């Protein structure tokens, strides 16, 4: 397990010390990859690499310490996701996922970040795209309301409202899901 990130880690990364760059990558990458996968990107692994190429090339000019670096990484991830969606709209390509051919022995980064399972994906699928986005940025990416608002191009109040509605909808979905189970137990 990598040591927790510190401002010294960021300073060492700015000095291009490989261990520090690796620590930042190891800390940020699972959440970035999970975000890109959750947004349906065609090649989230490649986009994650692009995010880190951009992040590492801009380390010297970033403000806000580690929090600023994390926000910048998710801003870049969001931009890459938008670019990917636009590209796919111009060049639609259908690739069917066959779970029988998936031979991974370990859980995916998305499962690791989101807590795994189709249940989470199904719950998120019941939300609007904006509600999904705000929960991914706030929960998966662990960004603040202001940082999420900046990425989404919305006000902090709008982000808070979206998050409140998204959480309310998730609560309603879970209650509806549990209601038949509770009636059978009676």
Show me where the domains of the chain are located.
1-93+109-115, 117-186
- Cβ-Cβ contacts under 8 Å for 37 (sequence gap 6 or more): 44, 108, 109, 110
Q: Output the pTM of the full model.
A: 0.63
Contact 69, 11 (CB under 8 A): no
Helices (H), 15-144: 18-38, 44-57, 65-90, 109-114, 118-125, 129-135
Q: How confident is the model at residue 180 (pLDDT cuts 50, 70, 90)?
A: low
CATH 1.10.10.10 holds for 117-186 = yes
Q: pLDDT averaged over the chain?
A: 85
Which one has a higher pLDDT value, 146 or 120?
146
Q: Over 70: is that where the pLDDT of 115 sits?
A: no
Summarised one tens digit per residue, pLDDT across range 8-62 is 999 999 999 999 999 999 999 999 999 999 998 989 999 999 999 999 999 999 9
CATH number of 1-93+109-115: 1.10.1740
108-137 mean pLDDT:
72
């Amino acid at each position: 397990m990598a040591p927790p990130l510190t401002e010294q880690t960021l300073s060492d990364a700015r000095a291009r010390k490989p261990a520090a760059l690796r620590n930042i990558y190891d800390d940020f990458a699972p959440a970035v990859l999970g975000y890109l996968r959750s947004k349906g990107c065609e090649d989230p692994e490649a986009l994650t690499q692009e995010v880190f190429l951009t992040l590492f090339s801009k380390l010297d000019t970033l403000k806000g310490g580690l929090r600023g670096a994390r926000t910048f990484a998710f801003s870049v991830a969001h931009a890459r996701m938008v670019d990917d969606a636009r590209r796919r709209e111009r060049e639609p390509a259908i690739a069917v996922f066959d779970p029988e051919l998936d031979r991974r022995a370990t859980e995916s980064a998305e499962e690791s970040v989101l807590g795994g399972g189709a249940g989470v994906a199904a719950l998120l699928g019941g939300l609007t795209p904006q509600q999904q986005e705000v929960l991914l940025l706030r929960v998966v990416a662990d960004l603040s309301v202001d940082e999420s608002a900046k990425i989404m191009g919305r006000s902090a109040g709008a982000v808070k409202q979206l998050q409140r509605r998204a959480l309310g909808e998730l609560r309603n979905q879970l209650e509806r899901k549990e209601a038949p189970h509770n009636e059978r137990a009676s």
